[in-house]
Amino acid sequence: MTDGTRDGDGTRCVRAGLPEPVPGQPFLPGPVLAAPYHLDPWRGPAAAADGYGRPDNPTRRLLEAAIGELEGGDCRVFASGQAAITGLLLALLRPGDAVVLPADGYFPVRAFAADTLARIGVRVHLAPTVGPYPSFEGVRLVLVETPANPGLDVVDVAALARDAHAAGALVAVDNTTATPLGQRPLDLGADLVVASGTKALTGHSDLLLGYVASRTPDLLDPVTAWRTVTGAVPGAFDAWLAHRSLATLDLRLARQSANAEALARLLADRSDVAGLRWPGLPGDPAYAVAAAQMRRLPGVLSFDLGGAERVARFLDASRLVGAATSFGGLHTTADRRAQWGDDTAPGFVRLSCGVEDTADLLADVTAALG
């Protein structure tokens, strides 16, 4: 709802990052597909905003303005979520620094830390999303993912930020699962936000995207410089597709969250489904923190079907649940995380609810489980 001074989520999503209206021009300008641009022969690149496509692109800047409005900070977009998070880590950490990473978060981040950060002399500490955490004394950066992917634990960001800041550490929050409509970590005290826009933010399963956001130029500037020298930028058309997709974010999340709630309640009553997690269920361990911290719950839930074969049978029997990795798209999908080397049980499933009619999805899952 709008209170007259701040537009509601749907309005903000539709209008975020759009330029002022110009008669005869589209609401969202088309992608600028350029590598070099015309330069002023006298003043060179100082004469215009764009000189070369790696650091400069107006389509990309419009998307950054849009995501920045939603997150409440300045934004830099990357070619993927992994490019964003590894760029943040390598831009801010130096040999001898210590970093705390989630032990139960996105597995490739831990693999990157073990393979690359440790090799360049960064001391890596792992901690579960909800703790216990090591001492933050001497730590440069604490990265948390909340809700965690794939286990969906939720940490109190404000409390964690207070503890980390008291010890002189920075806090970065991976906001992929929640999206900026679910929570705004910068409002809760985080110094940086990082996320994969591949998933629910853009939601159409047709592009790769990541971003870093912050209100602190001294933190965002080195990330921007890293992106420029490494070239980890999204293409102009992907940036345009992502901006187009933001307009329906509020609508998509509303249906996905409603489907997740209905499906979680259905599965909670089944004796042949174990380990059900969805932060919106009153009995979930994350419920109290999520209810206080999050503005809306994600369309993702997790559970265990007891083994890989039963997961395969379930997916074969389902008409509406597709077997796919990633999450947050329009179509309901399920991913058996162990097949990717993630340290989860063989029958562990992360299910991402799409925007199908709720009754149809419940009937399909019930029939597929047998």
Which of 152, 106, 145, 109 is closest to 300 using CA atoms?
152
Confirm whether 54 is a catalytic residue: yes
Single out the catalytic residue among 60, 184, 199, 296. Answer: 199
**pLDDT by residue for the chain (370 residues), tens digit each?**
334 458 999 999 999 999 999 999 999 999 999 999 999 999 999 999 999 999 999 999 999 999 999 999 999 999 999 999 999 999 999 999 999 999 999 999 999 999 999 999 999 999 999 999 999 999 999 999 999 999 999 999 999 999 999 999 999 999 999 999 999 999 999 999 999 999 999 999 999 999 999 999 999 999 999 999 999 999 999 999 999 999 999 999 999 999 999 999 999 999 999 999 999 999 999 999 999 999 999 999 999 999 999 999 999 999 999 999 999 999 999 999 999 988 899 999 999 999 999 999 999 999 999 9
Confirm whether 342 is a catalytic residue: no
Confirm whether 187 is a catalytic residue: no
Q: Which residues neighbour 294 within 8 Å (Cβ) at sequence distance 6 or greater?
A: 154, 178, 182, 183, 279
| Domains delineated in the chain | 9-246 (3.40.640.10), 249-369 (3.90.1150.10)
| CA-angle at 99, arms to 219 and 209, nearest 5° | 55
Confirm whether 133 is a catalytic residue: no
Single out the catalytic residue among 74, 104, 153, 174. Answer: 174
Single out the catalytic residue among 12, 60, 97, 106. Answer: 106
pTM over 0.85: yes
Between CA 63 and CA 77 the distance in angstroms is 8
Single out the catalytic residue among 54, 123, 255, 265. Answer: 54
Residue 101, phi then psi, degrees to nearest 5: -120, 155
Tell me the pLDDT tens digit for each residue of 283-326. 999 999 999 999 999 999 999 999 999 999 999 999 999 999 99
Taking the alpha carbons of 250, 252, 254, 257 in that order, is the dihedral positive or negative? negative
